[in-house]
Chains A and B, each alone.
Chain A
């Protein structure tokens, strides 16, 4: 057991130690939010939250609860740092990220504190790799001020049905328009591309619709380029909650089940593109 014998005595100097038998349980979920290099990590005794942002308009958060890890030790209330997510993912999959059952990479992730690198010990088949990734000054994530009290419309869908729609979306369209309404068309995704427009309508009584809570008709447009990365999270997830608040901000919450059947969440916030004129 190279990992456990490695540095038991030196553990005391770390302010964060997290170990995991199967690194895929976190690498998969991190892939779901990889659309920019910089990721803000903030750890609390509850677990790890990783945030990636784009253009001050899009924010993705991955929540990895403490009990996903076999060991999760943190000194103090919170630890924050920023690393290059692409580099981190390259390290996590350094053994090739094999999906063969029974073959998994174990991870021990340690952080000594401000100014120190993030140290990864990765082990597969008796081979240990140590990676040190320089950390950066953590930035303050944007507060989208999206609170559930301001939510006007909310639907929960089984991801399967949205995956189909997202895989077929007309990418020549600059925007994705989402209409949510207590009346028809209930929940509609629209694109306006080179060859015409397309609408995908989900009735509120569909088997795929787990929850339908729409109080008023709302139509908002979101940049396709911003929403595109969220399809990675969608692909992993089994359920998705789509919410809009009174300002038209969009929240997409994905429930992701990992290899061991544990549940994690990925959340995307997106600003609306512009006011939609009724036409």
Chain B
């Protein structure tokens, strides 16, 4: 039964006894942050079964990690889980680090966790039709979208895998009503925009932590080692796209207008991040498969 019908049956049944909430009134504000784990104001204490279950969900991910998904429980509050999804190869998100904050409700898993997407360049980039700039994740199992609801037999990895599947090769088509391009080439232009923003925000921005996110150290370490592993891929993408530098980007969903592609600048940032990491990790400058120090020259 769809949400509307479901509500309708409920309404019919109870309207005699209850004042129906006015959807247009000041209620808006309370409802507005219901999805948001950092602002929902919910401080209820977990039931004992809920906290055991959260640990088991995490254990399950540690035991059998889904590719590209990394999670860490919060050190001081077990309700919170930090997760990074690494963008899948051959998608515009490839190699990017997408950070999510999850919060389990007191009666988890009766209700789903709440999720906030944190890699948004401080609210400026909408990385997917379902990942809003304000961090909201639109997903039916989270109750923030229509479709199949959460079930208590699901787990934290179910949520992260669903998000990962949104971040696919052609995310343009995720948007309802956009099963065909509004303007020919939109899907491709959206991918170009996302590819650039992935490198700018989800790679450089995340490694530099320019938005001052509180990312747990284990995840930072993972990003650093993955960064070094993917370094050549990042630089290759930049070089392949250098010719678009200076052009305006086009976000078919109307975000971030008036900005330019800046692959040259991204290349510089990538190099700086790498050399800082190498200093920090005290890795000898010569890496395998590179001729001595001049790894910059390798791809030229």
A associates with B: no
